Structure 1
Amino acid sequence: MTHTLIIGGGSGMGLALAARLLTEGHDVTIAGRSTTRLADAATTLDGGNRLHHRQVDIADESSVEHLFADRTTLDHVVVTAADMSTGYGPLRRFALTDARTVVDIKVLGPWLVAKHAAPLLTGSLTVTSGIAAYRPAVGGSMVATANAALEGLVRALALELAPVRVNAVSPGWVDTPIWTQFAGDAKDERLTAMARRLPGKRVGRPDDLAGAFLAVMTNEFLTGTVLHVDGGHRLV
């Protein structure tokens, strides 16, 4: 039985991936910081004894170490966890503590996951980059930096952890709860405006990304690369 751990599996893209994997017969563990969100997700997924959930803060090494402490093997680990609550702001007023939070969760978090998951992994590690690495926004210097750094980490880990495959999925704008963190009431307006710009005339849906993660996980000749699932955002 294939066992996949999804860190960030309590909502958005991670939750959609968990649902897809459960329908395909995987054992799935969803993990994240919020135990309430994980419990709600577990109720939504209704995966029976094939679904498990664990609390973890990937910015805390002891928490990450504990997540893997009682395991012997894992086929796949996927990291979709993100926190954009401190990610955007004018450079001159951007606090160093907020910048470090972005890097801790987006770059060092996946690095810690790789460090402690590596002895257990048999298949792949997939992390989540983003369009900001290619189309940065004013006020988004740290998000752009973190996504670009994460992609460099992917290439390095693909060499160091081989034959475990290491890749990134890079979404464009996707309609997930994370948008509420930094757009608030303007969320729908901003997503609609972006949809008009994109060649596909819509923003992404969580299931679009679930399919992309699954493709990366199952292609055994894919490592050290970034799969762009952005609706053509890099073109416009």
Structure 2
Amino acid sequence: MQNERVLIIGGGSGMGLALARQLLDEGAEVHIAGRSAPRLAAAARELGEPKQLTASPVDIADEDGVRQLLAAERSHIVVTAADAAGAYHPIREFPLDDARNVLATKVLGPWLVAKHANLRAGGSITFTSGIAAYRPGPGASVLATANGALESLARTLAVELAPIRVNVVSPGWVDTAIWDILAGAAKTERLATMAARLPAGRVGRPEDIAAAFRTAMTNGFMTGSVLHIDGGHRLV
């Protein structure tokens, strides 16, 4: 990835941060963006603040902010941004504002990124959906909807934006800080229970998903595709 310029929206933590680390090791110029300026600053420190790393805050649901962020030309754009707060409620108790926030981050935000993307020839956009589109559970109605819609969006954009390639990475359960929000003190137990169910025998690591993003970025014959990196979760 040497001489490539990559934007990672959601690069301040988890899968996006793991991808930033891999790309920096390969010599790419990396810009990480996300809602939290303190989190981005902490991520930059964790990455050693190399000269080829830059960062800026952005709300992916704010069109003016997205337009400004995407003014500079990039080789690839990866969107891992997600907002777990308020993403799970029983349908009859689901606050409309929470549903709108999930859709704004997971669907409209990536749509805005595609709308304003400024990519070099041969460039790509990669979105992040998730296992909820395939193995939904109670309380996940809006998240499952958002993930399914995002994959349909990517297929449409792969045709409309060609030759820019547009793909999706669909992770299963991954051990990231998002589980501190979703499960709290029960995080370790819940992840261990899932690991015992999966054919892979473990839950995912951020580095597993980062490797899939790199595949979507570098395979010039891949577009309109969904990469399932879920440890076999769809099978059980």
TM-score category of the 2 structures, normalised to the smaller one = over 0.9
Query: Tell me, which stretches of 5 or more residues in structure 2 are unaligned?
Result: none
What value does the CA root-mean-square deviation take over the aligned residues?
0.8
Conserved? CA contact 1:14–1:210, under 8 Å: yes
Contact 1:22 1:47 in 2 (8 A): no
Could you tell me how far apart the structure 1 residues matched to 2:78 and 2:49 are? 18
TM superposition shift of 1:120: 3.2
> Residue 48 of structure 1: SS of its match in structure 2?
coil
> What displacement does 1:46 show?
1.6
Query: Post-superposition shift, 1:179?
Result: 1.1
* 1:52 aligned counterpart, secondary structure: strand
Q: Give the whole-Å Cα distance in 2 for the aligned partners of 1:176 and 1:194.
A: 14
SS at 2:70 equivalent: helix
* Structure 2 residue 37 is matched with structure 1 residue 35: yes
Q: Post-superposition shift, 1:185? A: 1.1
Superposed counterparts of 1:5-44, under 5 Å: 5-44=7-46
- Deviations along 1:109-166, one digit per CA (max 9) or x if unpaired, are 000011111x434310000010000000111100000000000000000011100100
Stretches of structure 1 lacking an aligned partner (at least 5 in a row): none
Deviation at 1:19, TM superposition (A): 0.2
- Secondary structure of the 2:59 match is coil
The equivalent residue for 2:232 is 232
The match for 1:58 is 60
Q: Provide closer, same or farther for how the CA distance between residues 197 and 60 of structure 1 changes in structure 2, counting only shifts above 3 A.
A: same
Number of equivalenced pairs: 233
Which contiguous aligned blocks of 4+ residues in structure 1 show a shift greater than 4 angstroms?
none
Aligned to 1:168: 168
Amino acid at match of 2:214: L
**Structure 1: distance between partners of 2:78 and 2:192:** 29
- Alpha-carbon distance between aligned partners in 2 of 1:181 and 1:159, rounded to the nearest angstrom: 37
d(CA) in 1 for partners of 2:49, 2:220: 26
> Which one-letter code corresponds to 1:8 in the other structure?
G
Q: Does 1:45 align with 2:44?
A: no
CA contact (8 A) 2:76 2:119 kept: no
Distance 1:209 1:68 in 2: 24
Whether the aligned pair in 2 keeps the contact of 1:38 and 1:53 (CA below 8 Å) is yes
TM score, norm. by length of structure 2: 0.97
Q: How far off its partner does 1:68 sit?
A: 1.9
Aligned partners of 1:181 and 1:85: how far apart in 2?
Answer: 7
For residues 126-141 of structure 1, what are the structure 2 equivalents within 5 Å? 126-141=126-141
Aligned to 2:82: 82
In structure 2, what residue type is equivalent to 1:62?
D
What are the superposed Cα offsets for residues 50-70 of structure 1, whole Å, 9 maximum, x if unpaired? Answer: 00001110011111112123x
Pairs within 5 Å for 1:189-204: 189-204=189-204
